[in-house]
């Protein structure tokens, strides 16, 4: 009994340890793991049940020694762990409660296997690890400063691509003193990339970027820092009839070129963007040849190719106060709430060199980018545009800005000029997308668009292409999408390894492949994650089941131990030999066990009145002299067979089963012996 209990407890602990070792691990070999767990649960159940069965047997003998019961109740008692119907006996519930409870546990013990099998589950779980990733790229616009379009850098058999195109003052075949290149326009490759990012409403992702960076089956995220242009926006007016304030720049102040009167509700426009004031002229000289070479002889005007100012973005837009269906906007200007339902706004944005911190997240083959921080450092060109004054400086570009000393010329500082040209190309692409107007009739339907902004994320198609209320923030995000889209084409000269920002990446899949290079030097800190089916061990549920089972097992052991003590320290069982030994002799022979069946020996057909006879276990005589219904008069003498037994002489008493009145219960005998012992000791017997 104790060994069985210890075995069941050990199997329960082993079951816990096995499931705990699987918790959180990938759900591989699920069927095999489930079989192992079921085996341990069954072994635990078998051990605890066996312990209770042994205790039950001890309790059976204690019960029959204490009280007499009907033959039917004794049938049910001895068969309780084998026959479920035997549990349905009122006398058993009344006279053998403890034994019945132990038998019930034996029958419900299989629930241990059923209930514990559901404690190891397979659930999707996202695991994160801080590690390093290959092929992480960033931007470094200082490479624009050294890029030479006549002798481009080649990486992995492909030429690196600048974001700008160049004209020159050098004639073919000549090598004059003082010649120089000057900016003309954004490069076609960059124009294509910027257009895709603008109309896609998000930064373009590099092909196979997730697999190259995160690895197959993984998601990952990381942050990169770089310096690039960014638009700093300032609100200048808000509300009907509001007077715009001047924009204050580092180099001076400038008045907006229009006010809110152009905007609904007082004007016809819901969107009005002016972005070309002071724009760099692609025609720097009136008379040029192929490649922008001036046909005039040098010296050339000092401001030829100079960046005089960076155009300011001026945007006016109207915001619907409440476009909800339950409170629609007025349908025309005659409505009394027309002016109060629409708010015109005006803001301006300047192109600044800025420090970016951007978080990239690759998840499920998609890329998302979030600018977690942007610090505006300095204006790309620190001048203030004077629209009312023509330059008349010998060039075809009549833009005038102050101070002229802040002009950025190719003949002064070529490296700075090239980087400014790259910034200008990025800003030019943004300005070209958002420049223009959206006009609306007085019924606020049928917008007439004269701008590409209607194809971007700046205007709301579900709201008649009114601008979103947070247009200034969206404009900055729109610019960021254009800039970050450059990472989709590693051939751009500005694309570098994030781990080594001083080295261009090209289209190589990973760094460290060159002579003397180590791949570990190109790994960049990242967080990898993936969602996979993993094992989840429900500790609480498993131990609730096992604690209940172990508690019943302990109760059974205590009950069995007490029963053994009551049985004079002998461990009893219900085997055939034990039953025969308890029923041997003529003490029960006077009962008609076969009832009216005559010669039939099938005890299943015993008479019902025989089942009602009350029988107990104790000292029984060889002949009781009692008769009754279903009981035969007379007795018998049992002789030993083959010398294997001692004959039962008439008048002799032995332990065994007998009818009520014939059997002397052991409890009474013990009390009598105890009383006689006390009497003899006192001299009164």
pLDDT digits (tens, 9 = 90+) for 82-133: 766 666 666 666 667 777 677 777 777 788 888 888 888 888 888 889 999 9
Half-sphere exposure of residue 421: CA atoms within 13 angstroms, side-chain side: 31
Where is the domain boundary, 574, 597, 626?
A: 574
212: domain range? Answer: 133-508
Reported as type and span, the H/E element at residue 347 is strand 342-363
Peptide bond into 403 cis (omega under 30): yes
Peptide bond into 666 cis (omega under 30): no
Digit-coded pLDDT (tens) for 272-329 = 999 999 999 999 998 888 888 998 888 899 999 999 999 999 999 999 876 555 555 5
Looking at residue 187, what is its pLDDT?
95
For residues 603 and 539, give the distance between their C-alpha atoms in angstroms, rounded to a whole number: 51
What's the Rg (C-alpha) of the chain?
50
pLDDT at 630 over 60: no
Same domain, 553 and 631: no
For residues 582 and 569, give the distance between their C-alpha atoms in angstroms, rounded to a whole number: 17
Half-sphere exposure of residue 128: CA atoms within 13 angstroms, side-chain side: 7
DSSP 228: E
Quickly tell me which residue has 């025309």 as its tokens.
Answer: 332
Mean pLDDT, range 141-164, rounded to an integer: 93
Reported as type and span, the H/E element at residue 16 is helix 2-22
Mean pLDDT, range 633-645, rounded to an integer: 41
Phi then psi dihedrals of residue 255, to 5 deg: -85, 145
Number of other CB atoms surrounding residue 299 within 10 Å: 9
In a domain, residue 17? The reply is: yes
Looking at residue 321, what is its pLDDT?
78
The torsion defined by the Cα of 361, 362, 366 and 368, in degrees rounded to 10, comes to 10
pLDDT at 4 over 70: yes
Confidence of residue 628 (pLDDT cuts 50, 70, 90): very low
Q: Are 346 and 355 in contact (CB under 8 A)?
A: no
- Which residues are CB-neighbours of 18 under 8 A, at least 6 positions away? 36, 37, 40
Digit-coded pLDDT (tens) for 21-62 = 888 888 888 888 888 888 888 888 888 778 777 777 777 767
Looking at residue 594, what is its pLDDT?
57
| Vertex 449: Cα angle to 448 and 452 (nearest 5) | 170
DSSP 393: S
Mean pLDDT, range 459-477, rounded to an integer: 92
Quickly tell me which residue has 């724009």 as its tokens.
Answer: 279
Q: Are 273 and 439 in contact (CB under 8 A)?
A: no
Same domain, 177 and 283: yes
214 vs 74: which has the higher pLDDT: 214
Which of 234, 223, 255, 256 has its CA nearest to residue 376? 234
Strands (E) in 134-218, as ranges, are 137-139, 154-155, 158-159, 164-168, 181-186
For residues 445 and 465, give the distance between their C-alpha atoms in angstroms, rounded to a whole number: 10
Buried b or exposed e, range 575-606, using 16+ CB within 10 angstroms: eeeeeeebebbbbbebbeebbeeeeeeeeeeb
Same domain, 96 and 160: no
Digit-coded pLDDT (tens) for 181-191 = 999 999 999 99
Highest mean pLDDT: which range of 264-273, 559-568, 641-650: 264-273
Looking at residue 325, what is its pLDDT?
55
For residues 517 and 505, give the distance between their C-alpha atoms in angstroms, rounded to a whole number: 13
Residue 220: strand pairing partners:
362, 528
Looking at residue 155, what is its pLDDT?
92
The torsion defined by the Cα of 571, 576, 579 and 585, in degrees rounded to 10, comes to -130
Same domain, 174 and 99: no
Which of 617, 614, 625 has its CA nearest to residue 655? 617
Strands (E) in 440-494, as ranges, are 448-451, 459-460, 466-467
Phi then psi dihedrals of residue 614, to 5 deg: -95, 130
Same domain, 173 and 105: no
Same domain, 6 and 83: yes
Spell out the long-range contacts of 2-7 with Cβ–Cβ below 8 A and sequence spacing 24 or more: 2/51, 2/557, 4/47, 4/48, 4/50, 4/51, 4/54, 5/47, 5/48, 5/51, 5/553, 5/554, 5/556, 5/557, 6/47, 7/43, 7/47, 7/50
Same domain, 496 and 542: no
Same domain, 183 and 217: yes
Q: Are 619 and 669 in contact (CB under 8 A)?
A: yes
Looking at residue 651, what is its pLDDT?
54
Reported as type and span, the H/E element at residue 254 is strand 252-254
Where is the domain boundary, 552, 574, 596?
A: 574
Looking at residue 478, what is its pLDDT?
96
Q: Are 617 and 655 in contact (CB under 8 A)?
A: yes
Q: Are 284 and 292 in contact (CB under 8 A)?
A: yes
Instruction: Give helix 97-108 / helix 30-66 axis angle, nearest 10°.
Output: 170
Q: Of the given ranges (180-189, 405-414, 536-545), which has the lowest mean pLDDT?
A: 536-545
Digit-coded pLDDT (tens) for 350-405 = 999 999 999 999 998 889 999 999 999 999 999 999 998 998 899 999 999 999 99
Mean pLDDT, range 335-360, rounded to an integer: 89
Q: Are 431 and 312 in contact (CB under 8 A)?
A: no
Q: What is the pTM of this model?
A: 0.70
Which of 82, 403, 69, 53 has its CA nearest to residue 251? 403
Same domain, 561 and 597: no
Mean pLDDT, range 506-521, rounded to an integer: 83
Same domain, 489 and 567: no
In a domain, residue 488? The reply is: yes
Phi then psi dihedrals of residue 57, to 5 deg: -65, -40
pLDDT at 413 over 70: yes
In a domain, residue 389? The reply is: yes
In a domain, residue 522? The reply is: no
pLDDT at 11 over 50: yes
Buried b or exposed e, range 137-176, using 16+ CB within 10 angstroms: bbbbbbbbbebeeeeeeebeeeebbbbbbbbbbbeeeeee
For residues 304 and 398, give the distance between their C-alpha atoms in angstroms, rounded to a whole number: 11
For residues 371 and 350, give the distance between their C-alpha atoms in angstroms, rounded to a whole number: 18
Confidence of residue 531 (pLDDT cuts 50, 70, 90): confident
Same domain, 177 and 260: yes
Looking at residue 385, what is its pLDDT?
96
In a domain, residue 67? The reply is: yes
Confidence of residue 629 (pLDDT cuts 50, 70, 90): very low
In a domain, residue 128? The reply is: no
Helix, strand counts (H, E) of the chain:
16, 25
Same domain, 340 and 437: yes
Phi then psi dihedrals of residue 451, to 5 deg: -160, 150
pLDDT at 558 over 70: yes
Mean pLDDT score of the chain = 81
Where is the domain boundary, 547, 574, 601?
A: 574
Looking at residue 667, what is its pLDDT?
56
Total domains, the chain = 3
Looking at residue 639, what is its pLDDT?
40
pLDDT at 603 over 90: no
In a domain, residue 658? The reply is: yes
Reported as type and span, the H/E element at residue 8 is helix 2-22
pLDDT at 202 over 70: yes
In a domain, residue 579? The reply is: no
CA distances from 639 to 536, 642, 649 (A): 69, 9, 9
Confidence of residue 550 (pLDDT cuts 50, 70, 90): confident
For residues 622 and 585, give the distance between their C-alpha atoms in angstroms, rounded to a whole number: 7
648 vs 545: which has the higher pLDDT: 545
Q: Of the given ranges (92-101, 248-257, 663-672), which has the lowest mean pLDDT?
A: 663-672
pLDDT at 246 over 70: yes
Quickly tell me which residue has 């930064």 as its tokens.
Answer: 203
Looking at residue 168, what is its pLDDT?
92
Looking at residue 420, what is its pLDDT?
97
């Amino acid at each position: 009994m104790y060994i069985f209990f210890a075995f069941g407890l050990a199997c329960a602990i082993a079951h816990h340890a096995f499931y705990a070792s699987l918790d959180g691990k990938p759900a591989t070999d699920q069927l095999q793991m489930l079989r192992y767990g079921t085996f341990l649960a069954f072994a635990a159940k078998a051990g605890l049940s066996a312990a209770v069965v042994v205790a039950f047997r001890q309790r059976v003998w204690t019960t029959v020694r204490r009280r007499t019961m009907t033959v039917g109740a004794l049938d049910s008692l001895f068969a309780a762990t084998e026959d479920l119907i035997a549990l349905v006996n009122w006398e058993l519930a009344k006279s053998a409660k403890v034994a019945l409870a132990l038998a019930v546990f034996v029958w419900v013990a299989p629930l241990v296997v059923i209930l514990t099998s559901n404690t190891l589950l397979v659930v999707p779980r996202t695991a994160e690890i801080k590690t390093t990733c290959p092929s992480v790229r960033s931007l470094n616009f200082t490479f624009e400063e050294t890029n030479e379009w006549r002798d481009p850098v080649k990486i992995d058999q492909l030429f690196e691509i600048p974001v700008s195109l160049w004209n020159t003052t050098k004639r073919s075949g000549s090598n004059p003193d003082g010649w120089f290149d000057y900016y003309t326009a954004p490069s076609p490759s960059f124009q294509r990339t910027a257009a895709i990012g603008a109309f896609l409403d998000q930064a373009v992702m590099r092909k196979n970027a997730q697999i190259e960076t995160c690895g197959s089956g993984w998601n990952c995220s990381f942050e990169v820092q770089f310096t690039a242009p960014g638009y700093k926006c300032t609100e200048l007016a808000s509300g009907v009839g509001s007077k715009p304030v001047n924009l204050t720049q580092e180099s001076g102040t400038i008045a907006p070129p229009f006010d809110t009167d152009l905007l609904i509700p007082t004007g016809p426009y819901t969107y009005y963007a002016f972005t070309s004031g002071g724009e760099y002229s692609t025609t720097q000289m009136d008379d040029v040849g192929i490649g922008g070479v001036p046909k005039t002889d040098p010296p050339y005007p000092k401001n030829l190719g100079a960046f005089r100012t960076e155009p300011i973005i001026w945007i006016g837009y109207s915001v619907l106060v409440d476009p909800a269906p339950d409170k629609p906007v007025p349908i025309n200007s005659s409505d009394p709430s027309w002016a109060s339902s629409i708010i015109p706004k005006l803001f301006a944005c300047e192109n600044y060199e800025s420090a970016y911190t951007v978080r990239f997240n690759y998840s499920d083959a998609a890329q998302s980018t979030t600018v977690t921080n942007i610090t505006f450092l300095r204006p790309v060109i620190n001048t203030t545009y004077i629209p009312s004054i023509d330059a008349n400086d010998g060039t075809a570009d009549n833009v005038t800005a102050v101070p002229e000393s802040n002009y950025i010329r190719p003949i002064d500082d070529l490296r700075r000029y090239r980087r400014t040209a790259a910034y200008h190309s990025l800003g030019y692409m943004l300005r070209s997308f958002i420049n223009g107007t959206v006009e609306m009739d007085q019924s606020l339907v049928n917008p007439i668009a004269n701008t590409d902004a209607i194809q971007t994320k700046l205007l709301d198609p579900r709201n008649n292409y009114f601008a979103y209320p947070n247009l200034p923030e969206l404009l900055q995000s729109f610019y960021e999408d254009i800039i970050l889209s450059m990472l989709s084409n590693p051939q751009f000269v500005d694309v570098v390894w994030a781990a080594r920002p001083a080295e261009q990446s090209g289209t190589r899949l990973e760094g460290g492949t060159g002579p003397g290079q180590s791949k570990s030097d190109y790994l960049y800190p990242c967080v990898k994650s993936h969602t996979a089916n993993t094992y989840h061990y429900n500790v609480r549920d498993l131990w609730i089941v096992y604690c209940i089972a172990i508690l019943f097992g302990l109760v059974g052991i205590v009950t069995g131990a007490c029963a053994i003590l009551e049985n004079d320290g002998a461990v009893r069982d219900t085997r055939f030999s034990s039953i025969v030994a308890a029923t041997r002799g003529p003490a029960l022979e006077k009962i008609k066990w076969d009832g009216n069946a005559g010669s039939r020996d099938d005890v299943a057909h015993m008479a019902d009145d025989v089942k009602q006879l009350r029988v107990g276990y104790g000292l029984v005589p060889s002949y009781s002299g009692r008769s009754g219904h279903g009981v035969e008069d007379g007795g018998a003498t049992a002789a030993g067979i083959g010398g294997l037994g001692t004959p039962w002489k008439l008048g002799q008493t032995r332990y065994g089963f007998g009818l009520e009145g014939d059997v002397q219960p052991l409890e009474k005998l013990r009390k009598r012996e105890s009383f006689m012992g006390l009497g003899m000791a006192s001299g009164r017997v």
